[in-house]
């Protein structure tokens, strides 16, 4: 079953002379939010929080210094496995977080937000 990204909040505002739109999305148990400059399409930071695994930390990166996130990583804190149940739970956590990480990264690189960035930077 394909799970969709749900736009939960969209707020247009001016900040320091910039025409920004704030977006908050939900995907499975993750919420993520960012502001996109409507003049140039830039997104400088994406914040991601996983409600199911609140100790997992997600980070978005702009690997080419182009003011648009291209990679998403997740850090899972040190875990202790003492038995098969611990292993099963840890394996599920890693799998869930990695699938969510990948889906959010793909969303950022295929959504209307990326198309706006490409258009404003003359790459379309």
Q: Please report whether residue 36 resides in a domain.
A: yes
Q: Please report whether residue 19 resides in a domain.
A: yes
Q: Which residues contact 104 (CB under 8 A, 6 or more apart)?
A: 27, 30, 32, 46, 48, 58, 72
Number of domains in the chain: 1
Q: What is the pLDDT of residue 111?
A: 95
Q: Please report whether residue 104 resides in a domain.
A: yes
Q: What is the pLDDT of residue 25?
A: 98
Q: Please report whether residue 1 resides in a domain.
A: no
* Pairing status of strand 57-61 against strand 18-27: unpaired
Q: Please report whether residue 46 resides in a domain.
A: yes
Q: What is the pLDDT of residue 12?
A: 94
Q: What is the pLDDT of residue 1?
A: 38
Q: Please report whether residue 91 resides in a domain.
A: yes
Going from the first residue of the chain to its last (124 residues), give the mean pLDDT of each consecutive group of 10, the final group possibly shorter.
83 90 97 97 96 96 92 93 95 97 96 96 78
Q: Please report whether residue 77 resides in a domain.
A: yes
CA–CA separation, 121 vs 63, rounded Å? 16
CA–CA separation, 71 vs 88, rounded Å? 28
Q: Which domain holds residue 34?
A: 6-120
Q: What is the pLDDT of residue 17?
A: 85
Q: Please report whether residue 107 resides in a domain.
A: yes
Q: What is the pLDDT of residue 124?
A: 63
Q: What is the pLDDT of residue 100?
A: 97
């Amino acid at each position: 079953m394909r799970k969709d990204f749900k736009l939960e909040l969209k707020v247009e505002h001016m900040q320091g002379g910039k025409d920004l739109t704030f977006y908050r999305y939900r995907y499975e148990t993750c919420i993520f939010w960012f502001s996109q400059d409507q003049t140039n399409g830039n997104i400088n930071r994406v914040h991601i929080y996983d409600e199911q695994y609140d100790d997992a930390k997600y980070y978005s990166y702009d690997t080419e210094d182009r003011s648009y996130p291209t990679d998403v990583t997740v850090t899972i804190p040190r875990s202790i496995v003492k038995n098969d149940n611990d292993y099963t739970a840890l394996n599920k956590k890693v799998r869930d977080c990695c699938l969510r990480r990948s889906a959010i990264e793909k969303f950022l690189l295929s959504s209307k937000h990326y198309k706006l960035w490409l258009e404003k930077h003359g790459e379309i």
